[in-house]
Amino acid sequence: MLGKLYKHEFKETAKPLIPLNLVLIVFTIIGAIMLGTDILQNESFEILAVTCMMLYIMSIFTVFIVTMVYLTIRFYKTMYSRQGYLTHTLPVSTGSIINTKIIVSSLWMFVSMIITGMSVFILVKVTAGSELDAAAFQEAVTVFPEIFGMELAEFVIWMIVLCVISCIASVLMLFVSLSIGQLFHQHRVLASIIAYVVIYIIQQIIGTVSVLIMGIGNLDELAMDTASSTLNMASFYRGTFWMGLIQSLIFGIIFYVLCHYFTKKKLNLE
């Protein structure tokens, strides 16, 4: 039954989200073709170039916004609205239902992030042309540790890990806000929005204070000679990454526990 639940969730979410991501891919292909030719160098096509750029930027924001909005609405409807009566009668535990929705939603968020990143990279590569070749990349790999104090491969691994954790934490933040909002008999949407804003503000305050504390602690060391400064920059970036990872994990666990508790013990269906 659990396998069928995952299959159903993937199938239902794929219907609007696959076409949405395909739109961004289409705009990327069109942009790459136009940038790879001389068509945009013609003054007669300036309006076309600006229009395409605006559509591309809008498509990037649309992918993330529509994905988040759709996943939010789907979670609420299938968990706390009238459809929730059917969802909660399935022969699986509340935890399994929540886990399914978290995993599937996080995967879609990550897919959108990957497609967007590859889209931007492709357009940058087409624009740069021969300036972004293997030799230029090798030079960047060599210079990277001197600037950031760590190898490029380590930095990329950190970014991937943080992106994955960030996707999961963002989904959990949305879901726990809805779980809080469903506790109210009226104005549930407003209550969910307020809960989300409050949680976001708390996160930002804690994150800002943590970075400031770490930054102040490294100011004197960063003012040393170049070699020591490079080592301290590596320590600062690693510390920042670890701090972001730990905070995301802690908040994610709290969000998950609250979401599970409210759904299992305080369920208030429409």
Taking the C-alpha atoms of 122, 126, 128 and 130 in order, what is their torsion angle to the nearest 10 degrees?
120
Q: Work out the end-to-end distance of the chain between its first and last CA atoms, rounded to an integer number of angstroms.
A: 26
Q: Would you tell me the crossing angle of helices 152-181 and 46-79 to the nearest 10 degrees?
A: 50
Look at residue 218 and tell me whether its pLDDT is greater than 50.
Answer: yes
Q: Please give the average per-residue pLDDT across 22-42, as a whole number.
A: 76
Distance of alpha carbon 20 from alpha carbon 40, whole angstroms = 26
Q: Which of residues 49 and 156 earns the better pLDDT score? A: 156
pLDDT band at 214 (very low <50, low <70, confident <90, very high): low
Is the distance from CB of 72 to CB of 178 less than 8 angstroms?
A: yes
The residue among 110, 102, 68, 92 whose CA lies nearest residue 5 is: 92
Which among 12-26, 51-65, 121-135, 148-162 has the top mean pLDDT?
12-26
pLDDT in tens, 40-63: 566 666 676 677 777 777 778 888
pLDDT in tens, 95-107: 899 999 999 999 9
Mean pLDDT of the chain: 81
Is the distance from CB of 176 to CB of 259 less than 8 angstroms?
A: yes
pLDDT band at 233 (very low <50, low <70, confident <90, very high): low
